[in-house]
Amino acid sequence: MPLPPFTDEHEELRQSIRRFVARELRPYSQQWEDERWFPNEVFHKLAAVGFLGLKYPEEYGGEGGDHLHDAVLIEELPRAGSGGVSAGIGGHIGIATPPIWKFGTEEQKQRFLVPAIQGEKIGALGITEPDAGSDVAAIRTLARRVDGGWVVNGSKTFITNGMRADFVVTAVKTTEEGGHHGISFLLLEKDMEGYSVSKKLEKMGWHASDTAELSFQDVFVPEENLLGEENRGFYLIMANFQWERLAMALGSVGSMQAILERTIEFALEREAFGRPIGKHQAIRHKIAEMAVKLESGRALTYDALRRFMQGEEPLREVTMAKLKTQRDCFEVADEALQIHGGAGYMKEYEIERVARDARLGPIGGGTDEIMKEILGKTYGL
Ligand SMILES: Cc1cc2nc3c(=O)[nH]c(=O)nc-3n(C[C@H](O)[C@H](O)[C@H](O)COP(=O)(O)OP(=O)(O)OC[C@H]3O[C@@H](n4cnc5c(N)ncnc54)[C@H](O)[C@@H]3O)c2cc1C
């Protein structure tokens, strides 16, 4: 029985996504991790079966579904066994295209959203800078008003899909004023003069995804590439964060589910001292605790998702779900590694990769410390 808010229809979609992941992603994940890159063809394959446009209307080439359909996809992607693949796809569907759908003009939707749903243009979201991460209001990339648009100077860092992105939904300052008032969003395109990828970044995990530093030197951005209202970009950031964080929570629920299944299987097969290790109480208890982390994270996440789908603005619930699942996912992966013994430390079992990939969760999309700050404020502190 599907758990609410999911229905039988979502379960059917889940089975078809699971088959796609097993056929098109999982067999190649080790190769892509080694190559530090997954091919753009993955986006084409996802587009061909409609997975890049699940939540978008048919008139833009989407499937006419909603965020619940995307939620199923996000939960299933970890079964590919590569956080980097999930991140690259998630960067595109989860944080780059939603603001265009929500705040873009019709012309921008035709120019960016339609090809993004077809997998023809790949998107990224550029907010973080070398001197501004958690403190988003401290960004310094400056867009100076000129005739017909803006001239942008500055840089962005840690940008997922940064190497391959055709367009970057970029946060800039459109006034010299401090704080969050003068932030706007511009759509920067890779062939604009003065736009360059300055560095490919090497990471602890998420190896198959490309993470880059971007540099903007006197990049002219025309008027029609302003996304949303000028100087109201902070609102766009906050709106985007809710789905990003909920999506991260869903990804971790999916990941914990997959890890638990594999670990139980291993614990029933692997024998030590005359019986399967899962029959030793210490291991059984570890697995019991992993299951509690999974199910409590799922309960918080699905509650936030239900509220989100009902049109509430569930800031507290989304923040709790993000905080709880990200740390727990890393701990669950680490316990799985312990239960696998020496095999857990070996590359071929993929558990070490899952643990490395999961370590990003408490940092990306807003750190654990920032989640606690937000939660504290919701209690009037
Ligand atoms: C692999 C990867 C992919 C990413 N992808 C993207 C992307 O696609 N687009 C994008 O824009 N960004 C992206 N990021 C950036 C990510 O969102 C930031 O790393 C994150 O928000 C934290 O910012 P920071 O790294 O500058 O850390 P800082 O803000 O410098 O924080 C450093 C430490 O101080 C703590 N801290 C900061 N402020 C407070 C406070 N008020 N109280 C208590 N503690 C505090 C933090 O929690 C953290 O522990 C990515 C990062 C990584 C690692």
List the chain pLDDT tens, one digit each, 381 residues: 899 999 999 999 999 999 999 999 999 999 999 999 999 999 999 999 999 999 999 999 999 999 999 999 999 999 999 999 999 999 999 999 999 999 999 999 999 999 999 999 999 999 999 999 999 999 999 999 999 999 999 999 999 999 999 999 999 999 988 778 899 999 999 999 999 999 999 999 999 999 999 999 999 999 999 999 999 999 889 888 999 999 999 999 999 999 999 999 999 999 999 999 999 999 999 999 999 999 999 999 999 999 999 999 999 999 999 999 999 999 999 999 999 999 999 999 999 999 999 999 999 999 999 999 999 999 999
The two tokens of residue 203 are 């990471």
Q: Where in the chain is the domain with CATH 2.40.110.10?
A: 124-230
SS3 221: strand
Q: What pLDDT was estimated at residue 235?
A: 87
CA of 367 to the centre of ligand 1 (A): 6
CATH of domain 8-121: 1.10.540.10
pTM across the whole model: 0.97
Q: What pLDDT was estimated at residue 130?
A: 97
Phi/psi of residue 214, nearest 5 degrees = -115, 145
Task: Please report the DSSP string for 301-358 in residue order.
Answer: HHHHHHHHHTT---HHHHHHHHHHHHHHHHHHHHHHHHHTTHHHHSGGGSHHHHHHHH
How big is the chain by its Cα radius of gyration, in Å?
21
Instruction: Return the best residue to mutate from 82, 97, 127, 128 for the ligand 1 pocket (most ligand atoms within 8 A of CB).
Output: 128
CA of 139 to the centre of ligand 1 (A): 13
Residues having CB closer than 6 A to ligand 1 are 91, 124-128, 133-134, 158-160, 203, 206, 211, 360, 363-367, 369-370, 373
Distance of alpha carbon 217 from alpha carbon 369, whole angstroms? 33
Distance of alpha carbon 13 from alpha carbon 367, whole angstroms? 32
pLDDT one-digit tens code per residue, 312-333? 999 999 999 999 999 999 999 9
Indicate which residue's Cα is closest to atom 11 of ligand 1: 127
Q: What pLDDT was estimated at residue 20?
A: 98
pLDDT one-digit tens code per residue, 236-281? 898 889 999 999 999 999 999 999 999 999 999 999 999 999 999 9
SS3 19: helix
CA angle centred on 100, ends 12 and 119, rounded to 5°: 55
Distance of alpha carbon 129 from alpha carbon 171, whole angstroms? 10
From 33, 63, 75, 244, active-site residue: 244
Q: What pLDDT was estimated at residue 176?
A: 83
Q: What pLDDT was estimated at residue 277?
A: 98
Q: What pLDDT was estimated at residue 181?
A: 86
Q: What pLDDT was estimated at residue 226?
A: 98
Task: Please report the DSSP string for 140-176 in residue order.
Answer: --EEEEETTEEEEEEEEEEEETTTT-SEEEEEEESSS
Q: What pLDDT was estimated at residue 187?
A: 98
CA of 96 to the centre of ligand 1 (A): 18
Strand partners, 275: 272
Is residue 130 within 8 A of residue 155, CB to CB? The reply is yes
The two tokens of residue 180 are 């969050």
CA of 13 to the centre of ligand 1 (A): 34
Q: What pLDDT was estimated at residue 177?
A: 80
SS3 200: strand
Neighbours of 131 (CB within 10 A): 11
Distance of alpha carbon 364 from alpha carbon 346, whole angstroms? 26
Of ligand 1's listed atoms, the one at least distance from the Cα of 156 is 11
Residue type, 42: V
Task: Please report the DSSP string for 269-293 in residue order.
Answer: H-EETTEEGGGSHHHHHHHHHHHHH
CATH of domain 124-230: 2.40.110.10
Catalytic residue list contains 350: no
* Helix (H) or strand (E) run with residue 262 in it: helix 233-269
Closest by CA position to 60, among listed 94, 110, 98, 105: 110
Q: Where in the chain is the domain with CATH 1.10.540.10?
A: 8-121
CATH class of the domain at 234-378: mainly alpha
Q: What pLDDT was estimated at residue 1?
A: 87
